[in-house]
Amino acid sequence: MKTTRLLSGNEAIARGAHEAGVRVAAGYPGTPSTEILENIIQYPGVYAEWSPNEKVALEVALGAAYGGARALATMKHVGLNVASDPLLTASYTGVNAGLVIVNADDPGMHSSQNEQDNRHYARLAKVPMLEPADSQEAKDFTIRAFALSEEFDTPVLLRTTTRVNHGKSVVCPGERAEAPPRRFERNLQKYVMVPANAMRRHAVVEERLARLRELADATDLNRVERGDRPLGVITAGASYQYVKEVLPEAWVLKLGLIYPLPEALIREFAARVETLYVVEELDPFLEEQVRALGIPVLGKERFPRLGELNPGLVAAGFAGPRRETAVPPPATDVPARPPVLCPGCPHRGFYQALRKLRAIVTGDIGCYSLGALSPLETMDTCVCMGASVGNAIGIRRAQPPDDKRPVVAVIGDSTFVHSGITGLVDAVYNNTPVTVCILDNRTTAMTGGQDHPASGRTLAGAEAPRLDMAGLARAVGVEDVLEVDPYDQEAAERALRYAVQTGKPSVVITNRPCVLIDRSAHRPALAVDLERCTACGLCFRLGCPAIEAVRGEDGKVKASIHSELCTGCDVCAQVCRFDAIAGEGA
Amino acid sequence: MSERVTNIRLVGVGGQGILVASEVLCDVLMASGHDVKKSEVHGMAQRGGTVNSDVRFGPKVFSPLITQGEVDLLLAFEEMEAVRSLPALRPGGTVIVNEQRILPVAVASGKVAYPEDIAERLRRRAGTVVAIDALAAALEAGSSRSVNVCLLGVLSRFLSVADAAWESVIRKRLRERGLEANLKAFAIGRAAAGPR
């Protein structure tokens, strides 16, 4: 009997990389890609690292490929924006040993700031892109991608979407096969991309793309599944599963290599059927290329561009033209349950102190983005990793003289290391008086608690030097660097009020770890003295899940603290003006 | 169990052990010879948000997502989340609901009311409703963390899977998570559902 296992797409990619003999893997955490590296590190024979950001991760993996090791880089879709600089020129240099870049798109934005369609990157970089439809393919395609990378001397993009990354299906594991040994060979014309060399390499890229087009027509990565109705569907990835679910009788051209496309195969397939559909999430990436071949096709007039597909939307698309918008109305009238900062989260104390300043607050990507939601509502912008610092500088420079509001950037520790440092250098260099607050909770919390250069540990769990962010801020020229305890409301407010009036760039760093990583720091739960509670409601404005409303005997809505949830952070006790909140027995 | 695909949705609140429960369920179904797919979204699970996990099994499963209105078995870890997922349930389908309330912040702070007509709404849509206080059962079994396994015990009555498969998967998967309490919680849940 074959041993099969139920694996997520991410576990399967890690397994595939292992079986393909990967020796170096690098990435930056980002939903839905994070678990790939967390799984790879479990296998022997591989060096794997959390890099400070995706650009470094890809450069490390590319260097490893130059150096003769099969290498993997992993990131979410917006991470590839950061890594796009090395990607576009890596296409010119080629690789030596295989280089596979896993790009995880997030249609529907389950945990992302946009839903860009990264299939366009394959076309932009002129590199092949594979897209698996389930975990078995995630494993198999990873192995195939390494082989393709070496055969065509090109980086290969493996594109996934949330449903494939985080969906689980049956996988048949195989054995690891060590890749053929290679080493770095000096080759200036190939690896040194100065204009004269790059001009010659561009020709190599175009010639390679032509060969890849031929491969697309011949490879078994693309397959035709016979149907018994004169209706054909071109599809790939998760969309393929929805098509098979709702229209099992259709002819299907299932693409595994989604760039470049198999032109002859598409023409042949189109000729076989009376009606041709393209079913794909987000942009009409396949559809426009099919139309460019002069083939009439039904696509985005039937299936939404917004959000992710599901069997219902696909069935509706086959049934007729689309009427409604893609964003479904709320299913029921029950109260929403949005994500919230955890009880005892140090960000809550920080925001409570910050909101008293009535500052313009530029935000960033992480758990602290939740500070923009009710009831904290203490964040005014959120764009991309590291944007808070540059945004703050810009807003400060745009402020009319009568706008005296301080401008404060809020950024997490991992995000600061990822891409906040250069913004801070700008603030100092051009002397823009903004306050950069680094909310240092010693982990990459939103993605589940990954280590980073300022956390003191590596992906492998080894101790590492902890990047001294205060020292770094001083080194780039910030004179006022203040460290504060976000649970201490008076101290935090005092530090912030000082920092925003220096007339120079300043830095405030909080010092409490994420409550999820250090449970030993939790203190006994607090309790409300209902006789003292005046039902003023101030503590509810903290948005702490541990604080619940109770209707008192006098009919007033007073506060009560859920002892199982409370971590004893004490912020609500400091906020209470009536001394109604204190430790048990206090 | 017919040859068609069976659709199970687990719903609840981050931190209730929903993803672990769906892992156990999938292992049991695999061990019983089914093709299995599951789909869920990570990232917000620890932030007090709604958590869903779709599990589908049968001779051959394509979509990892369940079509709206085709959930056969809804396993709700929290009352309000059961109601939220009702439109996904096949009319006449089965709902297993944990009689536990976890208040979203807007409810906890008194801004919005927690729905009071839950049992009635469930009955209106479902053919069968099994309600159990799984937290009390878990505490009786020895650990509040066994709520998820207690609910699997209830679910087990609605699936034609051998008892031994459940026990061996629980023993393997939950070795380090208080095995005795979990086995006991499973038994309590299974007994509570009654023979079928």
Q: Are A435 and A507 in contact (CB under 8 A)?
A: yes
Closest CA to A529 of A551, A561, A483: A561
Tell me what the mean pLDDT of segment A147-154 comes to: 98
> Is position B167 within any domain?
yes
Q: What is the pLDDT of residue A99?
A: 98
Backbone φ and ψ of A526, nearest 5°: -90, 170
Q: What is the pLDDT of residue B45?
A: 58
Q: B128 to chain A nearest CA, in Å?
A: 20
DSSP conformational letter for B66? P
Q: Are A357 and A406 in contact (CB under 8 A)?
A: yes
Number of Cβ pairs < 8 A linking chain A and chain B: 153
More confident residue, B2 or B119: B119
Question: A525-546, pLDDT tens digit by residue?
Answer: 999 999 999 999 999 999 999 9
Residues of A whose CB is below 8 A from B107: 335
Across the interface, of B43, B69, B81, the residue whose CB is closest to A31 is B43
Q: What is the pLDDT of residue A147?
A: 98
Q: Is the pLDDT of residue B46 over 90?
A: no
Among chain B residues, CA nearest to A341: B47
Backbone φ and ψ of A196, nearest 5°: -60, -40
Q: Is it true that domain A522-583 has CATH number 3.30.70.20?
A: yes
Q: What is the pLDDT of residue A1?
A: 45
Q: A346-518 in CATH: which number? A: 3.40.50.970
d(CA A192, CA A198): 8
Domain range for residue B17?
6-193
Q: What is the pLDDT of residue A325?
A: 53
Question: A375-391, pLDDT tens digit by residue?
Answer: 999 999 999 999 999 99
pLDDT category, B48, cuts 50, 70, 90?
Answer: confident
Within 462-491 of A, beta carbons closer than 8 Å to B belong to none
Question: A35-81, pLDDT tens digit by residue?
Answer: 999 999 999 999 999 999 999 999 999 999 999 999 999 999 999 99
For residue B130, give both structure tokens.
């099994």
Question: B3-31, pLDDT tens digit by residue?
Answer: 689 999 999 998 899 999 999 999 999 99
Closest CA to A322 of A330, A313, A331, A311: A313
Q: Is the pLDDT of residue A585 over 50?
A: no
Percent of chain A with pLDDT over 70: 97
Amino acid at B70: E
B27 near A CB under 8 A = yes
A336 near B CB under 8 A = yes
Within 118-137 of A, beta carbons closer than 8 Å to B belong to 134
Within 157-176 of B, beta carbons closer than 8 Å to A belong to none
Identify the CATH assignment for A223-319 out of 3.30.420.40, 2.40.10.10, 3.40.50.300, 3.40.50.920.
3.40.50.920
Question: A158-210, pLDDT tens digit by residue?
Answer: 999 999 999 999 999 999 999 888 999 999 999 999 999 999 999 999 999 99
d(CA A527, CA A504): 42
Residues of A whose CB is below 8 A from B26: 6, 168
Q: What is the pLDDT of residue B162?
A: 87
Residue A488, C-beta contacts closer than 8 angstroms, at least 6 positions apart? A349, A574
Among chain B residues, CA nearest to A162: B41
Within 35-94 of A, beta carbons closer than 8 Å to B belong to 35
| Averaged confidence pLDDT in chain A | 95
Residue A584, C-beta contacts closer than 8 angstroms, at least 6 positions apart? A524, A525, A526, A527
Q: Are B196 and B158 in contact (CB under 8 A)?
A: yes
Q: Do domains A8-218 and A522-583 have the same CATH topology?
A: no
Q: A8-218 in CATH: which number? A: 3.40.50.970
Residues of B whose CB is below 8 A from A168: 26, 36-39, 64
Residues of B whose CB is below 8 A from A331: 84-88
Question: A506-527, pLDDT tens digit by residue?
Answer: 999 999 999 998 888 899 999 9
Across the interface, of B42, B62, B115, the residue whose CB is closest to A334 is B115
Residue B35, beta-bridge partner list: B58
Q: What is the pLDDT of residue B41?
A: 76
Q: What is the pLDDT of residue A2?
A: 61
B68 near A CB under 8 A = yes
For residue A80, give both structure tokens.
């590839």
Structural domain total, chain B: 1
Q: Is the pLDDT of residue A261 over 70?
A: yes
Q: Is the pLDDT of residue B2 over 80?
A: no
The interface pTM score, or ipTM, of the predicted complex is 0.93
Backbone φ and ψ of A7, nearest 5°: -120, 150
Tell me what the mean pLDDT of segment B173-191 comes to: 91
> Is position B1 within any domain?
no
B120 near A CB under 8 A = no
d(CA A413, CA A449): 12
Q: Is the pLDDT of residue A332 over 90?
A: no
d(CA A25, CA A70): 9
Q: What is the pLDDT of residue B195?
A: 64
Across the interface, of A168, A315, A341, the residue whose CB is closest to B38 is A168
Tell me what the mean pLDDT of segment A417-432 comes to: 98
The residue extents of the domains of chain A are 8-218, 223-319, 346-518, 522-583
Amino acid at A333: D
User: In which residue are the tokens 């003999």 written?
Assistant: A21
> Is position B28 within any domain?
yes
Q: Is the pLDDT of residue B59 over 60?
A: yes
Q: Is the pLDDT of residue A586 over 50?
A: no
CATH of the domain at B112: 3.40.920.10
Q: Are B54 and B73 in contact (CB under 8 A)?
A: no
Percent of chain B with pLDDT over 70: 95
Q: Is the pLDDT of residue B56 over 50?
A: yes
Question: A345-404, pLDDT tens digit by residue?
Answer: 999 999 999 999 999 999 999 999 999 998 999 999 999 999 999 999 999 999 999 999
